[in-house]
């Protein structure tokens, strides 16, 4: 942009002779853009924080790769099969067999549905002890709360399998002792899941050596597609389906992404409204400076010079608002993250608002705000460049 246009644009924008209402609309335009940019940065950072927090909880609790039979039926499990998968890729860190089935849980007259999961225990908390006749079970925090059960209480699991008793065929039932409570950080899991040892689940369900699937943990969760390809090449698992965490949680991840995009579009209208103020401000400036514009044209100024003068005014207001908004937005995010001023209720499973400030988000917000500013500034600047110098001098 020409130095002449920048110089005249600044003089027009900050002239001491300007009407007070025009100066007011200038600052309103700047603050409007700043408010829109600040709001976008804060809201998108908060939504990214919640999304990453939920993603971390899912990855910490669930497997990165899941191996199941294609018809979801139980299959025989052997150490050789596990070894073949383990050797397929060096990024595989852990392979755990599991059993997952729907049951009923009963405690002191309260009965509810539950997902019973049998896992290989790494701690003694779910391993049977010789001096305790009842096998241990771990309950989700919310499930235990709804039942009113605590550690040390005895609960009863009711299986859909039938067994023959003195009075005929009845559902298979077994008593367990609550060895502890688990909080995964995901409400839907904590209200439904109960854990026993893999051997206990196989015995109770009469599975023998069968399992429902294998959970695989890898060193880099974003490289699961290539790990899956290596597993399929190295192992004889044509009758199995192999899915990673992104495919297993596709609906949730897509919903989070769509929600963020929708919020971004809605909040962008704040910047759009501020852009309307820029149009008003430049239009007022053109009307106020009609005589000066005509004189400049009579002295030889080209249309491009006049266009750039008022386009520069709009860009100056927009860029000032963008810089101010980014500074305030980053400051607000830092304060919220550093000092945790806003406390959240227990239902969110986090004590404060999670913040994730991403440089890429800031760049997109700044570019979009800048483009809106350019578009809104162009029309009144173009109208000013078409002004007839004879009419401007006459009036």
- Backbone φ and ψ for 158, nearest 5 degrees, come out as -110, 120
- Choose the weakest-confidence range: 102-116, 216-230, 236-250: 236-250
Residue 33's CB: how many other CB atoms inside 10 A? Answer: 31
Rounded to whole angstroms, how far apart are CA atoms 330 and 326? 6
19, 151, 378 from 26: Cα distances, Å: 11, 66, 16
Would you place residue 5 in the very low, low, confident or very high pLDDT band (cuts 50, 70, 90)?
Answer: low
pLDDT band at 85 (very low <50, low <70, confident <90, very high): very high
pLDDT in tens, 295-319: 777 777 788 877 888 888 888 899 9
Count CB neighbours of 70 within 10 A. 10
The 10s digit of each residue's pLDDT in 162-190 is: 776 666 677 889 999 999 999 888 888 89
Tell me the longest C-alpha to C-alpha distance in the chain: 112
| CA proximity to 201, closest of 40, 382, 74 | 74
Q: Check if the beta carbon of residue 13 is closer than 8 Å to that of residue 29.
A: no
Q: Is 64 helix (H, G, I), strand (E, B) or coil?
A: coil
For residue range 192-209, what is the model confidence (pLDDT) as tens digits?
A: 999 999 999 999 999 999
Domain coordinates of the chain in residue numbers?
Answer: 3-58+252-394, 63-247
Q: What backbone phi and psi angles, to 5 degrees, belong to 241? A: -110, 135
**Which residues, in sequence order, are CB contacts of 231 under 8 Å at separation 6+?**
65, 67, 85, 88, 89, 216, 237, 242
pTM of the model: 0.82
Nearest Cα to Cα of residue 215 among 60, 73, 70: 60
* pLDDT at residue number 164: 65
Q: What is the mean pLDDT of the chain?
A: 86
pLDDT tens per residue, range 202-238 = 999 999 999 999 999 999 999 999 999 999 887 777 7
Helix (H, G, I), strand (E, B) or coil at 341: coil
Q: CA nearest 14: which of 272, 355, 2, 22? A: 22
- Least confident stretch, 133-137, 329-333, 350-354: 350-354
Question: Averaged over 252-271, what is the pLDDT?
Answer: 91
Q: Is 149 left (phi over 0), alpha (psi -120 to 50) or beta?
A: beta
185-to-55, 150, 178 alpha-carbon distances in Å: 11, 19, 20
- Per-residue confidence at 22, pLDDT binned at 50, 70, 90? low
């Amino acid at each position: 942009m020409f130095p002449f246009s920048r110089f005249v644009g600044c003089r027009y924008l900050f002239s001491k002779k300007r009407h007070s209402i025009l100066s007011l609309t200038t600052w309103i335009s700047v603050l409007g853009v700043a408010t829109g940019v600040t709001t976008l940065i804060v809201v998108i950072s908060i939504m990214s924080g919640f999304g990453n927090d939920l993603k971390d909880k899912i990855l910490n609790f669930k497997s990165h790769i899941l191996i199941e039979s294609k018809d979801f039926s139980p299959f025989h499990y052997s150490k050789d099969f596990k070894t073949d998968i383990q050797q397929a890729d060096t990024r595989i860190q852990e392979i755990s067999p599991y059993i997952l089935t729907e049951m009923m849980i009963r405690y002191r007259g309260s009965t509810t549905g539950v997902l019973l999961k049998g896992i290989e225990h790494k701690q003694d908390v779910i391993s049977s002890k010789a001096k305790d006749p009842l096998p241990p079970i771990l309950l989700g925090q919310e499930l235990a709360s709804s039942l009113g059960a605590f550690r040390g209480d005895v609960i009863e699991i009711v299986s859909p399998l039938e067994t023959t008793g003195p009075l005929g065929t009845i559902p298979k039932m077994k008593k367990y002792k609550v060895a502890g409570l688990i909080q995964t950080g995901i409400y839907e899991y904590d209200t439904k899941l109960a854990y026993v040892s893999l051997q206990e689940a196989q015995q109770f369900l009469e599975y023998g050596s069968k399992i429902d699937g294998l959970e695989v943990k890898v060193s880099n969760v974003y490289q699961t597609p290539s790990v899956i390809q290596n597993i399929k090449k190295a192992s004889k698992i044509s009758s199995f389906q192999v899915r990673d965490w992104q495919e297993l949680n596709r609906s949730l991840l897509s919903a989070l992404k769509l929600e963020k995009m929708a919020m971004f579009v809605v909040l962008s209208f704040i910047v759009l409204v501020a852009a309307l103020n820029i149009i008003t401000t430049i239009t007022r400036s053109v009307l106020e400076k009609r005589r000066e514009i005509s004189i400049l044209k009579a002295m030889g100024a080209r249309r491009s010079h006049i266009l750039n003068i008022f386009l520069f005014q709009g860009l100056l207001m927009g860029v000032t608002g963008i810089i101010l908004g980014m500074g305030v937005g980053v400051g607000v995010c830092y304060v919220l993250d550093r000092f945790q001023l806003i406390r959240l209720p227990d239902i969110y499973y986090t004590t404060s608002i999670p913040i994730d400030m991403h440089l890429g988000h800031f760049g997109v917000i700044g570019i979009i705000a800048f483009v809106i500013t350019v578009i809104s500034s162009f029309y009144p600047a173009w109208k000013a460049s078409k002004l007839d110098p004879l009419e401007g001098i006459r009036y």
